Amino acid sequence: EVQLVQSGAEVKKPGESLKISCKGSGYSFTSYWIGWVRQMPGKGLEWMGIIYPGDSDTRYSPSFQGQVTISADKSISTAYLQWSSLKASDTAMYYCARPTAPRGYHEFDYWGQGTLVTVSS
């Protein structure tokens, strides 16, 4: 069974750093892209970026380029999303998601349960 299990909710202060994770299981982790999607409170889905764990090829949305870092450790089948200096506006639910097919890119059929990040002083 394919599963994406994300790390737990986080409460941070502005300026702090954070790294959240997404562990894949039940499939060949290195053969599928993993995307990250933001959902701010009461708002829609926003694509942040995507990584191919097989070779760490990473692409970012222009809106998030330079704001976050996406990485993966294929030895433990885990993708990461990290911030070096959080802002209150980073408060949101963050999802990781996997496409339907190994060469797929935007058709996300498996989603993590989401990680709620709250940034507040």
Partner 1 sequence: SSELTQDPAVSVALGQTVRITCQGDSLRSYYASWYQQKPGQAPVLVIYGKNNRPSGIPDRFSGSSSGNTASLTITGAQAEDEADYYCNSRDSSGNPHVVFGGGTKLTVL
Residues near partner 1, by CB under 8 A: 35, 37, 44-47, 50, 59, 61-62, 95, 97, 100, 105-109, 111-114
To partner 1, the closest distance from the beta carbon of 69 in angstroms equals 17
Contact 70, 61 (CB under 8 A): no
Contact 16, 106 (CB under 8 A): no
Residues listed for the chain:
121
Q: What is d(CA 97, CA 32) in angstroms, rounded to the nearest whole number?
A: 10
Nearer to partner 1, 16 or 107 (CB): 107
To partner 1, the closest distance from the beta carbon of 6 in angstroms equals 10
To partner 1, the closest distance from the beta carbon of 30 in angstroms equals 19
